[in-house]
Amino acid sequence: MGFPGTWMTESESVVYRVVPKCACSTIGQILFYSDHGAFFDGDIHDSTAGLHKWAQPESQVLIEKNVKEHASYAFTCVRNPYTRILSSFFDKICGIQRNGRRYRGNLVPMLTQKYGIEVGGEDGTAEFDQIRSFRRFLLFARDTIRWRRPMEPDIHWSAMSGHVSTFIVNGGRYDSIFWTEAFNDGMQTVLDSIETPHKVDLATIPRFNESEGHGPKRLHPVEDYFDDLSMHLVYEIYKRDFDLFKYDFENPANKMPVGEIDLDEVHAKLGD
């Protein structure tokens, strides 16, 4: 199994477990900058040099050795499950991807046919009922996660706890897990805990939101997308995420956490 989704700076100053839709583009660019004094020219997910990634075979031995010896500070970042699943819908389902095509080829036509989901036409610009389509997408997301049909769950909407757990189960330990909603505070804690070849000034770092502009603009407040049934589905899918990362299930309008993340609890419950 190894350490999928794990990135490490070439200087081995820090190890990061990527959780999709949780500021991973910005974090990746910060790590790249901390080693090289410049940002990667493009989407950091496309980089094949300058940053060790588990997906790069030559990086795997280095990452595995580092993580198992806990030789470097290790961290990850999480996000409110309500806003994360909404972001996945607008970016991956409604949006045109950076290659100019729909995400995963025939996925959207299948959703249109089987679930009645609308996405704003061929180019995502036509008007459609965002709330109705999103709620139908939630049914699809639940089906993929609960029954793995009509396809395996996608990394962008599978539970954060699943991503976070692989690192622990295979022998890693986190020094920090912070919230996207308090990004600067959390990322600063990481930077204060490590030595990097180049100093990072968070106040001057741009936000690399690679999904922004892919899809239609969200027209309504977050809470409008979630009725009682939708909230039930979200809880069914993300109960562990709410519990471990201390988000407010009762109120979709509150994106902020309601307690502190207990690292010992996370390691105990996700290390099975």
Q: What's the distance, CA 231 to chain centroid?
A: 20
Q: What's the distance, CA 213 to chain centroid?
A: 17
CA–CA distance, 85 with 142 (Å, rounded to integer): 11
Q: Could you report the per-residue pLDDT of 156-199, keeping only the tens digit for each?
A: 999 999 999 999 999 999 999 999 999 999 999 999 999 999 99
Confidence (pLDDT) at 212: 60
Task: Give the pLDDT band (50/70/90) at residue 125.
Answer: confident
Least confident piece of the model among 147-151, 248-252, 267-271: 147-151
Q: Specify whether the CB–CB gap between 167 and 3 falls below 8 A.
A: yes
Residue 263 placed within a domain? yes
For 17, the enclosing helix (H) or strand (E) is: strand 14-17
Task: Give the pLDDT band (50/70/90) at residue 248.
Answer: very high
Confidence (pLDDT) at 96: 83
Q: Is 22 exposed, middle or buried (0-12, 13-18, 19+ CB in 10 A)?
A: buried
Confidence (pLDDT) at 122: 77
Residue 224 placed within a domain? no
Q: pLDDT above 90 covers what percent of the chain?
A: 88
Residue 125 placed within a domain? no
45-60: average pLDDT? 97
- Write down the mean pLDDT value for the chain: 94
Q: Is 177 exposed, middle or buried (0-12, 13-18, 19+ CB in 10 A)?
A: buried
Q: Is 212 exposed, middle or buried (0-12, 13-18, 19+ CB in 10 A)?
A: middle
Q: Is the dihedral of CA 101, 107, 113, 119 positive or negative?
A: negative
Residue 116 placed within a domain? no
Instruction: Give the three-class secondary structure for 57.
Output: helix
241-264: average pLDDT? 98
Range of the domain at 11: 1-96+155-216+238-272
CA–CA distance, 82 with 253 (Å, rounded to integer): 9
52-74: average pLDDT? 98
pTM: 0.95
Residue 149 placed within a domain? no
For 7, the enclosing helix (H) or strand (E) is: strand 6-9
Q: Specify whether the CB–CB gap between 22 and 30 falls below 8 A.
A: no
80-86: average pLDDT? 97
Residue 144 placed within a domain? no
Report the number of distinct structural domains present in the chain.
1
21-44: average pLDDT? 96
229-236: average pLDDT? 96
Report whether pLDDT(213) > 80: no
Residue 205 placed within a domain? yes
Residue 166 placed within a domain? yes
Confidence (pLDDT) at 211: 61
Closest CA to 21 of 76, 74, 75, 79: 79
Report whether pLDDT(210) > 70: no
Confidence (pLDDT) at 217: 87
Task: Give the pLDDT band (50/70/90) at residue 272.
Answer: confident
Confidence (pLDDT) at 100: 82
DSSP string computed for 87-148? HHIIIIISSBPTTSSBTTTTHHHHHHHHH----STTTT-S---HHHHHHHHHHHHHHHHHH-
Least confident piece of the model among 43-47, 165-169, 210-214, 225-229: 210-214
Task: Give the pLDDT band (50/70/90) at residue 123.
Answer: confident
Least confident piece of the model among 5-9, 99-103, 191-195: 99-103
